[in-house]
């Protein structure tokens, strides 16, 4: 294409895209007008208006995120027809069925990502735009068939992977590659495992898959939402803008430590304790710990009633305990069975003594009347109440686990390893979360407490209803001077009960807020990132959150650091979805330049020789380096790196073992990327635990442009490919 021809094409494409933005702005204005009208309550019932307001607010958000990179390419068919591909779909205002911009998730847009010279999908040309704001600054063509020498299709991809990083992950909607698109659109109702080495884009592919599923299955998925689980808050913050940038907001982001609402993780387990807690064998410990709290009295407990003294002996308590356990009810719910048996025995004994010589069992009415009186006495007797709490206490997950962890004798009684012993039983760790979640079901509800809570909620609802009624009275007075037509509208708003309904009957929180606060919420789809770190117990929690078993699982077994993590995907998934999980791999590294990946691959070969490293799509021309420093020189060398990188565009980080000033551990950087990375004391990282090599591999592969290594001791042999400074 000549320079003149290129300039004319660029102007033509700019005119078309400008027209799309004009259409987008008009749509925004229309939605804003309708939103304002809906807020004013014009027409429909209050509930209908509320639904309309929410729908219009969501539509406004969808249109707002489309402004950046609205259109990123064009497809030309062999017959000469054009289709423009973009972030959302737009239609001709005169013909709502005629698209002027195809949503990237639409079936008709698939060829934009998968067409090749060998399989052109009936396409002649793929044109990719490089945009800045609303302006097209460049475009490249890929012609399927016989392209001319100056036509190429990788400019947009290379521009994206070479661009400086900022604080968050960007979507790849404009540069999705064929192997990625196949995974994004995969029609599989069960569990999809996406495995790939560093930089292969597995996380962003999983997020785009969520956007695709929400687009194609919106009615089924939208009401319950999607859960995305990532390793730490920094990672979630990094990926958090991808789905909103694609117009999707009904997504809950959590770390494994957030899966029990209201719990605060403040401590960290030893590797051995994490391994023990992560194993399914801990279930036996939990059940034994509960059984240990279901006690028998060492000596008979006397209960002094008005006319007689009765005793709770070991034999009675044992019978009651056996019946409660046989019931199959969770611990707290089985308490009623335990109490029922104990009270039955005590009342039978008391009646026999009180009625000795004059009351026979044939006198049923007198017998039952006396039993009723005795039951009331027992219920009001403090000694009896204390005895029941000692023999079969109401337990919460926290009140069971905390005393267990802080007592060597309780651990022994439960058959638990003493490695779980700690001084502060209530200092919760991430590994405690699945145990606490499991105990919610093993212990069951405290019905008495639930009743008190329900009564408190009802009192609050009544108070809110009274407040709403007061507001209506005030508004009625304010509108008293208005004309008849206005008063009719006021009556419709107020006296239909709409305001009271808002206060009393409806939960007006957004889906994300409601789901995050509800332990029993179930999702239509769950994304699990860095899944190789999750334990067997972690998977039990996640499977409860998604009964239909629809998952996108993202990970890399070679990067596993946790002792409790996965050694194979089948071992983790087969107990839940033996025939409903499929595996896909990503093999191309879009993040790490070849110069850095060659060094990281040498580390990988030492601890996982059978794993093939991903192939880098580019070289940066910058060689990674190493420098030996003394302990005194180290702070200055780190400051020098930070100072130099502060003057460059992009992001940087220092990664090192504990004690290195200004450094973060590799475990906190998994899934993140930075333009420049400085790794400090690699020899200490390697020596720090059994998964030290995986830690170092993760650290080395965070860089997209520049990598440096500072070492005080010996330089590991695997890093011999670094250029010594």
Annotated binding site for ATP: 196-203
The whole-angstrom distance between residue 308's C-alpha and the CA centroid of its chain comes to 59
Cβ neighbours around 193 below 10 Å, total? 21
Do residues 177 and 113 make contact, with C-beta atoms less than 8 angstroms apart?
A: yes
SS3 at position 90: strand
Contacts of 647 (CB under 8 A, 6+ apart): none
**Do strands 226-229 and 251-254 pair parallel, antiparallel, or not at all (unpaired)?**
parallel
Do residues 532 and 608 make contact, with C-beta atoms less than 8 angstroms apart?
A: no
Helix-then-strand count for the chain, H and E:
28, 21
What spatial distance separates the first Cα and last Cα of the chain, rounded to whole Å? 46
For 38, counting Cβ atoms within 10 Å of its Cβ (0-12 exposed, 13-18 middle, 19+ buried), the class is buried
Do residues 338 and 323 make contact, with C-beta atoms less than 8 angstroms apart?
A: yes
CA 119 vs CA 58, 113, 115, 585: distances in Å: 38, 12, 6, 21
The Cα–Cα gap between 574 and 594 comes to 36
Residue identified by tokens 């299955």 is: 217
CA angle 496, 502, 505 (to 5 degrees): 100
Contacts of 273 (CB under 8 A, 6+ apart): 419, 420, 429, 431
Cβ neighbours around 246 below 10 Å, total? 25
Helix pair angle (484-494, 447-478), 10° resolution:
180
Residue identified by tokens 């002792």 is: 563
Left (φ > 0), alpha (ψ -120 to 50) or beta: where does 581 sit? beta
> What are the phi and psi torsion angles at 680 (to 5°)?
-110, 135
DSSP letter string, 532-564 = GG--HHHHHHHHHH-TT--EEEEE-GGG---TT
SS3 at position 654: strand
In what helix (H) or strand (E) does residue 124 lie, and over which residues does it extend? Answer: strand 123-132
DSSP letter string, 492-534 = HHHTTSHHHHHHHT---S-HHHHHHT-TT---SEEEESSGGG-
Q: Which of 519, 508, 512 is nearest to 243 (CA)?
A: 512
CA angle 586, 591, 597 (to 5 degrees): 85
Residues paired with residue 84 on neighbouring β-strands, in sequence order: 74
Contacts of 147 (CB under 8 A, 6+ apart): 141
Q: Residues at the annotated binding site?
A: 196-203
Q: Which of 631, 636, 651, 662 is nearest to 706 (CA)?
A: 651
**Do strands 309-312 and 301-304 pair parallel, antiparallel, or not at all (unpaired)?**
antiparallel
Do residues 592 and 197 make contact, with C-beta atoms less than 8 angstroms apart?
A: no
Cβ neighbours around 149 below 10 Å, total? 5
Residues paired with residue 674 on neighbouring β-strands, in sequence order: 703
Contacts of 529 (CB under 8 A, 6+ apart): 203, 206, 228, 229, 230, 231, 235, 239, 554, 555, 671
Contacts of 620 (CB under 8 A, 6+ apart): 593, 594, 595, 596, 705, 706
């Amino acid at each position: 294409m000549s320079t003149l021809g290129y300039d004319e094409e660029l102007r033509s494409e700019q005119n078309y895209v400008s027209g799309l933005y004009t259409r987008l702005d008009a749509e925004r204005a229309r939605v804003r007008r309708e939103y304002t009208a809906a807020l004013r309550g014009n027409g429909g019932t209050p509930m209908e208006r509320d639904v309309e307001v929410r729908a219009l607010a969501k539509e406004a958000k969808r249109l707002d995120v489309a402004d950046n990179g609205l259109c990123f390419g064009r497809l030309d068919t062999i017959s000469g027809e054009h289709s423009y591909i973009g972030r959302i779909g737009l239609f001709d205002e005169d013909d709502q069925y005629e698209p002027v911009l195809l949503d990237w998730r639409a079936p008709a847009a698939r060829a934009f990502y998968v067409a090749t010279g060998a399989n052109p999908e009936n396409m002649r040309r793929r044109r990719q735009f490089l945009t800045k704001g609303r302006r097209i600054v460049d475009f490249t063509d890929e012609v399927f068939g016989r392209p001319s020498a100056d036509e190429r299709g990788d400019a947009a991809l290379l521009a994206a992977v070479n661009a400086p990083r900022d604080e968050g992950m960007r979507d790849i909607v404009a540069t999705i590659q064929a192997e990625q698109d196949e995974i994004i659109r995969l029609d599989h109702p069960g569990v999809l495992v996406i495995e790939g080495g560093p930089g292969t884009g597995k996380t962003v592919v999983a997020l785009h898959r969520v956007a695709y599923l929400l687009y194609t299955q919106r009615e089924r998925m939208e009401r319950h939402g999607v859960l995305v689980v990532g390793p730490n808050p920094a990672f979630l913050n990094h990926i958090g803008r991808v789905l909103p940038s694609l117009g999707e907001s009904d997504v809950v982001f959590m770390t494994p430590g957030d899966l029990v609402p209201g719990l605060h993780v403040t401590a960290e387990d030893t590797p051995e304790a994490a391994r023990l807690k992560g194993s399914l064998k801990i279930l036996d410990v939990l059940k034994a710990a509960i059984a240990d709290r279901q006690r028998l009295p060492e000596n008979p407990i006397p209960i002094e009633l008005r006319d007689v003294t009765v005793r709770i002996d070991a034999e009675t308590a044992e019978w009651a305990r056996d019946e409660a356990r046989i019931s199959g009810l969770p611990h707290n719910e089985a308490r009623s069975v335990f109490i029922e048996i104990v009270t039955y025995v005590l009342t039978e004994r008391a009646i026999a003594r009180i009625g000795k010589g004059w009351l026979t069992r044939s006198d049923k009415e007198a017998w039952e009347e006396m039993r009723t009186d005795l039951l009331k006495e027992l219920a009001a007797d403090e000694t009896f109440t204390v005895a029941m709490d000692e023999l079969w206490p109401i337990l919460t997950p926290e009140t069971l686990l905390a005393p267990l962890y802080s007592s060597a004798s309780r651990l022994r009684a439960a058959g638990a390893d003493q490695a779980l012993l700690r001084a502060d039983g209530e200092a919760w760790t991430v590994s405690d979360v699945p145990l606490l979640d499991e105990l919610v079901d093993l212990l069951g509800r405290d019905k008495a407490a639930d009743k008190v809570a329900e009564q408190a909620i009802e009192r609050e609802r009544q108070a809110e209803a009274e407040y709403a009624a007061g507001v209506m009275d005030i508004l009625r007075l304010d509108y008293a001077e208005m004309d008849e037509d206005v008063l009719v509208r006021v009556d419709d708003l107020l006296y239909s009960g709409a305001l009271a309904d808002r206060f009393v009957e409806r939960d007006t929180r957004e889906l994300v807020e409601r789901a995050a606060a509800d332990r029993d919420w179930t999702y239509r789809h769950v994304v699990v990132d860095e899944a190789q770190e999750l334990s067997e117990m972690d998977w039990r929690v996640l499977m409860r959150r998604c009964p239909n078993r629809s998952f996108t699982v993202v990970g890399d077994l070679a990067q596993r650091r946790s002792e409790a993590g996965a050694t194979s995907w089948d071992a983790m998934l087969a107990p839940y979805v033996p025939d409903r999980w499929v595996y896909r791999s990503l093999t191309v590294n879009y993040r790490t330049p070849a110069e850095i990946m060659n060094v990281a691959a040498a580390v990988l070969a030492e601890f996982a020789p059978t794993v093939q490293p991903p192939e880098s799509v580019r070289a940066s021309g910058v060689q990674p380096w190493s420098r030996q420093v003394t302990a005194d020189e180290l702070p200055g060398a780190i400051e020098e790196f930070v100072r130099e990188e502060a003057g460059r565009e992009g992001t940087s980080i220092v990664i090192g073992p504990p004690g290195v000033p200004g450094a973060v551990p590799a475990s906190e950087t998994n899934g993140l990327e930075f333009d420049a990375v400085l790794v400090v004391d690699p020899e200490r990282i390697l020596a720090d635990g059994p998964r030290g090599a995986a830690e170092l591999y993760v650290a080395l592969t965070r860089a997209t442009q520049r990598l440096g290594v500072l070492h005080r001791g010996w330089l590991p042999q695997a890093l011999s490919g670094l250029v010594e400074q």
